[in-house]
Each structure stands twice: as C-alpha cells, then as structure tokens.
Amino acid sequence: MFEGPWWLVKAGKIEEAKQAARRLSPATYLTEERLEQQIALISHTIELEKAEVAGATYRDCFRGSNLRRTEIVIAVWAAQYWNGQNIINYSTQL
C-alpha cells in the first residue's frame, strides 16, 4: 500500500516520505533542494497544526468565534435534513 508524504512525515518516516514525494513529482521539477524544502514545509506545517490543537477540547467548539462556526454548520446540516436530503440520499437503496 502506498502512503503519501504527509502521512509518512507525520509518522516520523522522513526517508520514506522523500521516496513518496519523488514518486509523485515529475523528475524535472523535484531537485534535491526542492525535495528538502518540501519535506521541511510539511514538517513545519504538521508542527504548527499540533501546536494549534494542543489542549483543545470539544467544548471549544461552543466558545468564542468557534461558536459562530458551529452554529453555521449545525444550521446547514439541519436545513438539509429538514428538506428531505436524507430521504433523497437513501431512496435508491429502498
């Protein structure tokens, strides 16, 4: 099974991530310098994501600016449900 470079870097498999990136990119585009930059960017992004969600809980979905986002998502989901979208999605299975 083939894993992508993002997953491999997240799993700490840097050399395998480089091999995966080489397979996914055109040979003319991916020089060793660009490959190192790409892996460094992936690593940096993963570290930023870890720092952003450290200590986060589901309760945070209902606080501050996240409350507004949560309300919007619930409203969109409820509108689809109330308009019969769930019946339309499963009607071919009946």
Based on the fold, state whether residues 20 and 62 are members of the same structural domain.
no
Based on the fold, state whether residues 44 and 67 are members of the same structural domain.
no
Question: For residue 93, what pLDDT is reported?
Answer: 60
- E strand or H helix that includes residue 20: helix 14-24
Question: For residue 39, what pLDDT is reported?
Answer: 96
Other CB atoms within 10 A of residue 69 CB: 11
Distance separating alpha carbons of residues 21 and 6, to the nearest angstrom: 9
- What tokens does 7 get? 């997953």
**Model confidence, pTM:** 0.65
Based on the fold, state whether residues 74 and 30 are members of the same structural domain.
no
Question: For residue 1, what pLDDT is reported?
Answer: 57
Question: For residue 92, what pLDDT is reported?
Answer: 67
Based on the fold, state whether residues 43 and 63 are members of the same structural domain.
no
What does the pLDDT look like over 14-67, one tens digit per residue? Answer: 999 999 999 998 888 889 999 999 999 999 999 999 998 899 999 999 999 899
Based on the fold, state whether residues 5 and 23 are members of the same structural domain.
yes
Question: For residue 28, what pLDDT is reported?
Answer: 86
Q: Which residues form the domain of 26? A: 1-54
Based on the fold, state whether residues 7 and 43 are members of the same structural domain.
yes
For residue 69, CA distances in Å to 41, 63, 64, 76 come to 28, 10, 10, 11
Based on the fold, state whether residues 63 and 32 are members of the same structural domain.
no
